């Protein structure tokens, strides 16, 4: 039996999982990660903590499985996207990493848009300038920490710092590079036009790799620290969203990944580059070679239900909270919920957007409000689907749903009805780390390509099809879409 190792550095944990050649997870271990918010809007982590955490998790996974290091055929890496790791010429970290959820760089985003042009930036990079992305973070360091910037020689993302520590190589995969605002996404190469406009040295940017492409091998030093075998190949891997899509088999057009976690993510693979002209959707390279994807992100999906539970049903189970909502008709008797509790990204990139209940009357109960939350999140997800449909989504689709929200049969049925699309679950529950392992399995020759790996390793189940109540959501959804334009001005007064 041959094995592969998937490594995932998320915001909260450093995970290592071992997968056999049949796609079965045989060991998994996660080491919690600290996070720092030294000032308002700031979010940072120390890359040294990532390395210490992943070393601990690798050793624990090897010990738990009883598998020898020489049985690991290849290693895949994934992790949180966009975080800036700035290093000097010797590979030493110059400052804590500025993370994906850091919000300090709006002024730099405005500068990028002014220098490059709104339309041209989207044409080249597939996206508008966003505070979460990497390039504005580089500009912020240059303007606010010139002594740090003067020593810089390399730019990496979180998972790629692990690659450097594992192999000694500076590399980045196409999907993660897409979230830097420095990649020509259509041509899968660094954009000299963007780098020159921003005066960012192109030589600071690492070598680019496809997801299953070998980017280096485990060094003697890394082998000594981790317990891995020197010379073991490490592949390009992917950003967490692309690797997560591989992990559920969303690797070709028509198979959509829908994650109903704290945030909601709609991930639609494309066989050609395309972009949404207003930047309302993300357009990235996939971790699958010569494949791209659209992605819509709503910031408070299951997070909206968590807020409602903690605020109005503290001490009750989610099952008890949702049980009465089954008796509420679609549309919640005229009650609508706007799920912008932490601002929004798709289709309204607006950090000032706010949540709201609209239509409350004395006849509405807590059950109506809970049902409206479920429906409001489903409407928010439909916003992303509508944008993707207008950009050329295939007529026949299968939606593979995951995340905490997918545990509710009622919520899954509401989402299937609102989207008018079938939903299925998958046997893979390890997320991005599992996708990274499958990318490594392709490099190891266990499968000829990524789609074959997914077809053989991933099993779908629990089909939920749109029901008779599907049409009942059309009018509430139309009313829901009118809410943000009507309330946008009010939100800015808070």
Q: Which residues are catalytic?
A: 240
Q: Which of 408, 379, 334 is nearest to 484 (CA)?
A: 379
Helix (H) and strand (E) counts in the chain: 17, 24
Where does 271-364 show beta strands of DSSP type E? 282-285, 292-298, 336-338, 356-358
Strand, coil or helix: what is 170?
Answer: coil
Type and span of the H or E element at 324? none
Q: Please enumerate in sequence order all residues whose Cβ is within 8 A of that of 264, keeping only pairs 6 or more positions apart, or say none.
A: 258, 297, 298, 301, 302, 377, 380, 381, 403, 405
| CA distances to 146, 183, 350, 355, 464 from 343, in Å | 31, 27, 6, 8, 30
Residue by residue, DSSP assigns 473-484 as GHHHHHHHHHHH
Q: Which of 151, 161, 185, 170 is nearest to 47 (CA)?
A: 161
Query: Which residue is associated with the tokens 């057009």?
Result: 253
Cβ pair 239, 71 in contact under 8 A: no
């Amino acid at each position: 039996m041959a094995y592969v190792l998937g490594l995932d550095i998320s915001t909260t944990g450093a995970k290592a999982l071992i997968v056999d050649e049949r796609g079965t997870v045989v060991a998994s271990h996660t080491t919690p990660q600290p996070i720092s918010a030294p000032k308002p809007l700031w979010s940072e982590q120390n890359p040294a903590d990532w390395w210490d955490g992943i070393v601990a998790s690798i050793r624990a996974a090897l010990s738990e499985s009883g598998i020898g290091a020489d049985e690991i055929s290849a290693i895949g890496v994934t992790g949180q996207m966009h975080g800036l790791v700035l290093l000097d010429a010797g590979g030493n970290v110059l400052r804590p990493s500025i993370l994906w959820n850091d919000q300090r760089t709006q002024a730099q985003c405005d500068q990028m848009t002014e220098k490059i042009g709104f339309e041209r930036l989207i044409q080249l990079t597939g996206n508008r300038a966003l505070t979460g992305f990497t390039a504005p973070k580089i500009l912020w360091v240059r303007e606010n920490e010139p002594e740090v910037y003067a020593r810089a020689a390399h730019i990496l993302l979180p998972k790629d710092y692990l690659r450097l520590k594992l192999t000694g190589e500076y590399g980045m995969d196409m999907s993660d590079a897409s979230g830097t605002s420095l990649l020509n996404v259509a041509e899968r190469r660094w954009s000299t036009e963007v780098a020159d406009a921003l005066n960012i040295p192109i030589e600071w940017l690492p070598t680019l790799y496809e997801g299953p492409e070998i980017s280096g091998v485990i060094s003697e030093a890394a082998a000594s620290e981790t317990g891995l075998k020197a010379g073991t190949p490490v592949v390009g891997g992917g950003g967490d969203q692309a690797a997560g899509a591989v992990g559920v088999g969303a690797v070709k057009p028509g198979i959509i990944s829908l994650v109903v976690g704290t945030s909601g993510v709609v991930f639609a693979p494309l066989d050609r580059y395309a972009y949404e002209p207003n930047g309302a959707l993300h357009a990235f390279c996939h971790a699958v070679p010569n494949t791209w994807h659209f992605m819509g992100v709503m910031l408070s999906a299951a997070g909206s239900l968590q807020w409602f539970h903690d605020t109005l049903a503290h001490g009750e189970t989610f099952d008890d909270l949702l049980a009465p909502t089954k008796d509420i008709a679609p549309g919640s008797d005229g009650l609508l919920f706007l799920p912008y509790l932490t601002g929004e990204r798709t289709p309204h990139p607006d950090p000032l957007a706010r949540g709201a209940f609209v239509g409350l009357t004395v006849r509405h109960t807590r059950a109506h409000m809970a049902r409206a939350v479920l429906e409001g999140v489903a409407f928010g997800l439909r916003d992303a689907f509508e944008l993707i449909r207008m950009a050329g989504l295939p007529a026949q689709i299968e939606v593979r749903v995951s995340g905490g929200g997918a545990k509710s049969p009622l919520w899954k049925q509401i989402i299937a009805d609102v989207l008018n699309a079938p939903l299925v679950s998958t046997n893979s529950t390890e997320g991005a780390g599992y996708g990274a392992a499958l990318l490594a399995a392709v490099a190891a020759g266990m499968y000829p390509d990524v789609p074959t790996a997914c077809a053989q390793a991933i099993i779908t189940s629990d089909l939920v099809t749109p029901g008779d109540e599907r049409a009942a959501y059309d009018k509430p959804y139309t009313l829901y879409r009118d809410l943000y334009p009507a309330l946008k001005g009010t939100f800015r007064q808070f």
